[in-house]
Amino acid sequence: MNTLAIARIHRAAPLIGLLVVVVFIVLIEFLIRIGIVNRFIVPPPSEIIGSFKRVIVEEDIIHRFFVTATECLTAGVMLTVFGVAGGVLLHRFKLLQQATETWIAAMASAPTVLMYPLFLVIFGRSAWTMIMMGFVAALPPVILKTLEGLSSTRRVLIDVGRSFNLTPTQQFWKILFPAAMPTIFVGIRLGLIFALINIVGVEFLINFGGLGALINDLAERYDLAGTYASICFVILVSVLFFMGLEKVERWLRPFE
């Protein structure tokens, strides 16, 4: 494929993506209007769009958006620091790795959100409950992906380091860590998804905090359009985080 064709695909891809979303919305609107989809279960997209102004003005959604975003950011920073450090420790100490890797993998697939009563007891009805729930749920993929990245560093790169007589610290910072970066970023991305799901989920369950609590409020008032509008804001949090992460990744890895 020539460069021109690749450039054309790069330009067309976001437009096609947007078009798919628009077609989907129009289709749902159409199915609701002709009665195939029940409007008391799924409100028409036009009503959802119409309720944006109301939820912004009346429900203070901007403030709630920032509450959820701050919780996600805090959990994201914590899981990056502790998750990467955990992966490094497991890579460094093989005994620790062999003793705990299976448990950590099991934790990654466990429904940790069900532990929210315990977290409520420990941290009270505060933002820390959400942050810690997000953190605990998102930690395993970051640890495992960091470990995978470090373990799968190509042997020849390690040998290059050895041939230049690198100290273990130099070997880590100059070869192992940069080589593992792409996989670590995959882990952080996965972790952020887990964190966001758990944070909004717990906000919803305990009816406290940002967007999750608002969704709970609106659902209990049977304000379906408002509920779906709030869900759109949750998606916005996710989009913003991924865009931010992509920027950081591009800055750290300009060669990709």
Partner 1 sequence: MPISPSTADRAAPSRRTADAILTVGNIDMRFETPDGTLVAVDDVSFTVAPGEFLSVIGPSGCGKSTLFNVIGGLLGGYQGRVTVAGETITGPHASIGMVFQEESTFPWRTVTDNVAFPLELIGMPKQKRIERARHFIRLVGLDGFENRYPGELSGGMRQRVSLARTLASEPKILLMDEPFAALDEQTRLLLGDKVLQIQQDLKQTTLLITHNITEAVQMSDRILVMTYRPGKVKRIVDIDLPRPRTSEIVGSEAFGRYVAQIWADLREEASRGMQDDESRALHPGGARP
Binding site for partner 1 (CB under 8 A): 154, 156-157, 159-160, 162-166, 170, 174-175, 178-179, 181, 253-256
CB of 7 to partner 1, least distance (A): 16
Burial 30-49 (b: 16+ CB within 10 A, else e): eebeeeebeeeeebbbebbe
- Cα–Cα nearest to 237, from 209, 203, 213, 211: 211
Q: The dihedral of CA 164, 167, 169, 172: what is its sign?
A: positive
CB of 160 to partner 1, least distance (A): 5
Q: How far is the CB of 174 from partner 1 (least distance, A)?
A: 8
| Closer of 51 and 146 to partner 1 (Cβ) | 146
Q: Is 4 helix (H, G, I), strand (E, B) or coil?
A: helix
Do the Cβ atoms of 150 and 181 come closer than 8 Å? no
Please state the separation of Cα 118 from the chain's center in Å. 23
List of residues 6+ apart from 5 with CB closer than 8 A: none
- CB atoms closer than 10 angstroms to residue 239: 10
The nearer residue to partner 1, 68 or 171, going by C-beta atoms, is 171
Is the CB of 147 or the CB of 175 nearer to partner 1? 175
